[in-house]
Amino acid sequence: MTAVRYSPRAWKRRLALTAAIVLGPLGLSSSGASNGFAPDPPRDLAAEVLGPNAVKLTWREGKDGSDTNFYFVYRDGEAVKAVDDDDDPEWTDTGLSAWTEYTYRVVAIDNRWRASDPSSPVTVRTADGSPPGSPGSLSAIETTPNRVELAWEPAHDPESGVASYQVLRDGKKNGSTEDTRFVDETVQPEVEYEYKVRAVNGSGDTGAPGDPLTVVTPPLPDTTPPAPPVALRVVQP
């Protein structure tokens, strides 16, 4: 079997990560900067959700600007990655579960293998990963020349839930609501409109619209006064 060759730096990362995993949770693997010799903890740890299965982490080195060799990344208290020191260190965590909360910290390791205290934590939730279902039974419960009131059955999303609904009129977004009713007061008399409704879940994913509904607004009521009578005469009994 062919032996795998690693560079000295790669060996250090592998050994360091192995040591961090053996040592266990975050609280046991850091010696702390309070001893006066370990590096300061990394700063400005930030997390960007890249979808249902990935999170990108970025951070800056500690205030002391010490000779950091690499970093340990901890997810939910366990070491998951050793990252080389860089001017703009970053790492993308992949293979995560959809709509799941994760907490990250980063520990700096200097050239003498001294560990900083952990950075401030950052907690994120991955995206939902699947759109919500479609609303059902769209109907017009009231129609006047200048007003259409719509109602529908709620859509469902088993993970992040339904956050709101978008109402489409003739293919364009007409408004949004968190309720299962919507009033359109921008219609004109004697005009045909097609309405659709789609759901938006808690992760911001938009589902497919439900079945369309065609509405024809009635005409305005006739307010023309009747013509006055002509040739009025009195008929004697």
Same domain membership, residue 112 and residue 142: no
> How many folded domains does the chain comprise?
2
Q: Could you say which of 125, 154, 186 is where a domain stops?
A: 125
For residues 120 and 142, state if they share a domain.
Answer: no
State residue 1's pLDDT score. 45
- For the cut 70, the answer to whether the pLDDT of residue 236 exceeds it is yes
* Mean pLDDT of the 157-163 span: 94
Q: Are residues 144 and 120 in the same domain?
A: no
Question: In this predicted structure, what is the pLDDT of residue 172?
Answer: 97
- Tell me what pLDDT residue 4 has: 46
Instruction: State whether 146 and 110 are in the same domain.
Output: no
Q: Provide mean pLDDT across the span 202-215.
A: 96
Local structure of residue 12 (DSSP, 8 states): H
**pTM for the complete prediction?**
0.69
Predicted local distance difference test score (pLDDT) of residue 23: 46
> Torsion-angle region of residue 63: left (phi > 0), alpha (psi -120 to 50) or beta?
alpha
Checking if the pLDDT of 25 tops 70, the result is no
Q: Which amino acid is at 123?
A: T
Q: Is pLDDT above 70 for 65? A: no
* Residues sharing a CB contact under 8 Å with residue 62, sequence separation 6 or more, in sequence order: 33, 39, 40, 41, 42, 43, 68, 108, 116
CATH of the domain at 82: 2.60.40.10
Q: Sorting pLDDT into bands at 50, 70 and 90, what band is 96?
A: very high
Q: pLDDT (tens digit, 9 = 90+) per residue, 108-128? A: 998 888 899 999 999 999 999
Percentage of residues of the chain with pLDDT beyond 70: 83
Task: Give yes or no for residue 31 having a pLDDT over 80.
Answer: no
- Is 119 in the same domain as 87? yes
> In the predicted model, is pLDDT for residue 20 greater than 70?
no
Domain that holds residue 76: 8-125
Contacts of 185 (CB under 8 A, 6+ apart): 146, 147
Q: Are residues 111 and 71 in the same domain?
A: yes
Segment 79-100 mean pLDDT = 93
What's the rounded Cα separation, in Å, for the pair 182 and 24? 54
Residues 114 and 142 in one domain: no
Beta-carbon neighbour count of residue 196 at 10 Å?
Answer: 21
Q: What are residue 148's DSSP bridge partners? A: 143, 184
Give the DSSP H/E element, type plus range, for residue 13.
helix 8-23
